[in-house]
Amino acid sequence: MPLSLSGKKCNIAGMSLTGKYYCSSFIPPDIKEIKISILNNLIFPLISKQWQTLQENMYCLKTIKQKLDYYYDSYKIEDLLIYKEIINAFEYILNEHEQLEELEQKMYGTTKDVSTIIYKTTMIRLKPEYEIYNLLLGKPDRNLNQKYNESILKEIEQMLLMPNPSFNKIKTYILNKYK
């Protein structure tokens, strides 16, 4: 069994055009390059919400997909199919973002008489027990001086600490006990 460059034994996946065996753990430089390109030009800007950079990199998606198909046909590396699905998801996310921006422009854009200033922030999330409480029993109305039932919150919190908590288990328990 041949050795890889790291000295580890590897499975033989076939022979290259030079007649030498290559390992399934070997990643051709072209594939490394395309993976790095996807990370640097698509994934990292998406994570950091650099929408302008993403728009600018939109042109290369078709080419990247074609390369991924070609390399998959050539090397049969399963990771390439995953990367292709990442590209498809990326296209979908970017299209949704564009539609949202257009909608925001229509909804909150400026008029001739009045300008509107809107600051967009990320959604604020409550602690899980409060989120579940709101889903099950509704959010208490402060105008009516309603408050969260602390004993229900404590029970939800305890159930979340149990192994494999699920929303349905918590829902069934809380609704049976408190409704």
pLDDT confidence band for 56 (50 / 70 / 90): confident
Mean pLDDT of the region 117-136: 81
CA 137/CA 132 separation, integer angstroms: 8
In terms of residues, how long is the chain? 179
**What is the pLDDT, as a whole number, of residue 3?**
47
pLDDT in tens, 92-123: 888 888 888 888 888 776 555 555 566 666 66
Higher pLDDT, 112 or 162: 162
Q: Report whether 64 contacts 90 (CB < 8 A).
A: no
Contacts of 132 (CB under 8 A, 6+ apart): 156, 160, 167, 170
pLDDT surpassing 90 at residue 130: yes
CA 34/CA 44 separation, integer angstroms: 14
Most confident of 17-21, 103-107, 146-150, 174-178: 146-150
**What is the pLDDT, as a whole number, of residue 12?**
45
**What is the pLDDT, as a whole number, of residue 104?**
80
Which sequence spans correspond to the domains of the chain? 28-108, 128-178
Helix 79-108 and helix 61-75: axis angle, to 10°? 170
